[in-house]
Amino acid sequence: MHRSSRSFRLARAAARGVTLIEVLIVVAILSLIAAGVTVAVLPKFRQAQIDTASTNVREIRGAVVRWRANRGGDECPTISQLVQDKEIDSASKTTDPWDSPYKIECAEDETYVSSPGPDKKEGTKDDIIIPEKGNR
């Protein structure tokens, strides 16, 4: 009889399933893992956005320089003109990683391309401008 009551208890324990406490412990562990991943990945994601914007600004600037060299004169193109004239691939993203439009400024001897940066406000210290402007 000792053997049958033991097997009965084991069968009953297996049929019982998981308790609410066990589920809460698993959820807490998963939350801790998710928080750790977020803390580790979020700064790298922000830096990747800045790096992407910098690369795009350089590429757009190169396209503007080519566009102006081919046409001569002092005219400054827009992003849509660069796409239309195939200086920029039509599949390229024409806004920065924060969905702000890139800004093109042409001077006689220099071309500036900028993004307002993560704060989406022009004239702040997080702006991405190529080439960097001196005193404005």
Q: What is the pLDDT of residues 87-108, one digit of tens each?
A: 898 888 889 999 999 999 998 7
% of the chain residues with pLDDT over 90: 50
Pick the CATH number of 20-130 from 1.10.287, 3.30.300, 3.30.700, 1.20.1070: 3.30.700
Does the predicted TM-score (pTM) go above 0.85?
no
pLDDT in tens, 105-126: 998 788 999 999 999 999 899 9
Distance CA 28, CA 87 (A): 52
For residues 33-55, give the mean pLDDT: 91
Q: What is the mean pLDDT of the chain?
A: 86
